[in-house]
Amino acid sequence: MTTVDLAIIGAGPTGLFAAYYAGFRGLSTAVLDTLPEAGGQITAMYPEKQIFDVAGFPEIRGRDLVENLLRQAAPFEPDYLLGHQAQRLEHVDGKPVLELSGGLRLETQAVLITGGLGSFSPRPLPAAADFPGAGIVYFVPELAAHAGQDVVIVGGGDSAFDWAMALHGIARSTTIVHRRDKFRAHQATVDRVKALGTDIVVNAQVTAVHGTRRVTGVSVDVKGEGPQELPADAIVAALGFTADLGPLGEWGLELDRRTIAVDSTMATNLPRVYAAGDIAAYPGKVKLIATGFGEAATAVNNAAVVIDPDAHLFPGHSSENP
């Protein structure tokens, strides 16, 4: 059993800002996420993209935004439980207790759900289903890990082309393999990748992954041309992610389609359980990172009063706090 004041389910931007704000309010926190890296959708889908609608930053790369949020929360030492899923919720003596994958139990004073669109699971690469070795990834936490490698990127969306751009000049070669000759990625991004000289194989399917302990190559079947062999030290399967509420949907939360209904304090229908960010729903909701930041502050401040009835809802200005 681990005990914290506030359990935050979701390590995306909203959850990371909530960890900072909870620390500012003097609350201990644990931040959970099913993904192995902090950052949520940004880390999984567009870490190298520039974001233009975060207040105070004319533009900021996704990866840098996540790093800044982690640095902002760091002085308050949140406990990051990455690769863990919150499976069950019960209330003991009126307070939430979470049961996590792996058997860990988390006793809390309140829960804040910031899980974006829910639990993210990468769409698998069918040809790699029985591959026993390493070298197949679904996003790239560290670009330097692929230095000097031949990298095959499977997919035709923004993520596939973003990774190709980011790995250019780091990997020895990058090749995009896509099942169609049209792409879901933004045309300007496609044009930039083509201008870099990246090999793009269209109307093609990866049919086999070669290697034993690690990837050494792939077989590709190209429509009208037949099979081809490509060298590969790594495969980035940028086939997208599926998202669902997972176990959260069985907790008795009031749902609005695939989101969680909240009131003006960001409280759900369950006692001491709040939601913020894309997963929270109320009339007039606008799903933006900027919105999630404000909702995180609202949820934490209201949770702080529930946790300690003598606390003030208004936290004071951070500029006045030494």
For the chain, give the percent of residues with pLDDT over 70: 98
> Which class for 291: exposed (0-12), middle (13-18), buried (19 or more C-beta within 10 A)?
middle
237, 259, 274: which is the final residue of a domain?
A: 237
Supply the pLDDT for residue 117: 66
Query: What total of structural domains would you count in the chain?
Result: 2
* Axis crossing angle, helix 13-24 with helix 289-307, rounded to the nearest 10: 40
194, 213, 237: which is the final residue of a domain?
A: 237
Residue 29 scores a pLDDT above 70: yes
> Can you read off the two tokens belonging to residue 8?
């935050």
CA-to-CA distance for 240 and 300, rounded, in angstroms?
A: 32
157 and 112 within one domain: no
Average pLDDT for 199-217: 94
**pLDDT tens readout for residues 271-282:** 999 999 999 999
**pLDDT tens readout for residues 253-265:** 999 888 999 999 9
In the chain, the amino acid numbered 147 is A
Torsion of CA 92, 243, 177, 228, to 10 degrees: 70
Supply the pLDDT for residue 45: 73
41 in a known ligand binding site = yes
Query: From the CB of residue 263, how many other CB atoms can be counted at a distance below 10 Å?
Result: 11
138 and 97 within one domain: no
278 in a known ligand binding site = yes
86 in a known ligand binding site = yes
> Can you read off the two tokens belonging to residue 164?
């190709």
Judge if pTM exceeds 0.85. Answer: no
97 and 150 within one domain: no
187 and 53 within one domain: no
120 in a known ligand binding site = yes
Query: How crowded is the C-beta side of 27, counted as CA atoms within 13 Å?
Result: 32
245 and 106 within one domain: yes
3-state helix vs strand vs coil in the chain, percent to 5: 30, 30, 40
CA-to-CA distance for 35 and 50, rounded, in angstroms?
A: 22
**pLDDT tens readout for residues 108-161:** 999 999 987 666 677 889 998 888 888 998 878 778 999 999 999 999 998 899
106 and 250 within one domain: yes
319 in a known ligand binding site = yes
Supply the pLDDT for residue 112: 98
Cβ–Cβ < 8 Å for 273, 262: no
User: CATH number, domain at 221?
Assistant: 3.50.50.60
CA-to-CA distance for 84 and 208, rounded, in angstroms?
A: 31
Residue 186 scores a pLDDT above 90: no
Distances (CA, A) of 266 to 45, 269, 279, 311: 27, 10, 11, 18
Supply the pLDDT for residue 206: 95
Most confident of the ranges 29-38, 112-121, 291-300: 291-300
> Can you read off the two tokens belonging to residue 39?
């950052």
270 and 195 within one domain: no
- Structural domain harbouring 66: 2-120+241-320
Cβ–Cβ < 8 Å for 20, 8: no
200 and 261 within one domain: no
237, 256, 274: which is the final residue of a domain?
A: 237
Instruction: Find, among 315, 310, 270, 283, the residue nearest to 113 by Cα.
Output: 270
Residue 322 scores a pLDDT above 70: no
251 and 114 within one domain: yes
Residue 1 scores a pLDDT above 80: no
155 and 93 within one domain: no
Q: In whole numbers, what is the pLDDT of the chain averaged over residues? A: 92
Q: Rounded to the nearest 5°, which phi and psi values hold at 205?
A: -130, 135
275 in a known ligand binding site = no
116 and 6 within one domain: yes
Per DSSP, 240 falls in state: -
Residue 22 scores a pLDDT above 80: yes
Average pLDDT for 304-318: 93
87 in a known ligand binding site = no
191 and 58 within one domain: no
**pLDDT tens readout for residues 39-88:** 988 887 777 778 899 999 999 988 899 999 999 999 999 999 998 999 99
CA-to-CA distance for 174 and 161, rounded, in angstroms?
A: 10
263 in a known ligand binding site = no
| Beta strands per DSSP E along 197-277 | 199-201, 204-210, 217-222, 226-231, 234-237, 241-244, 255-256, 259-261, 273-275
Question: How sure is the predictor about 36, in pLDDT bands with cuts at 50, 70 and 90?
Answer: confident
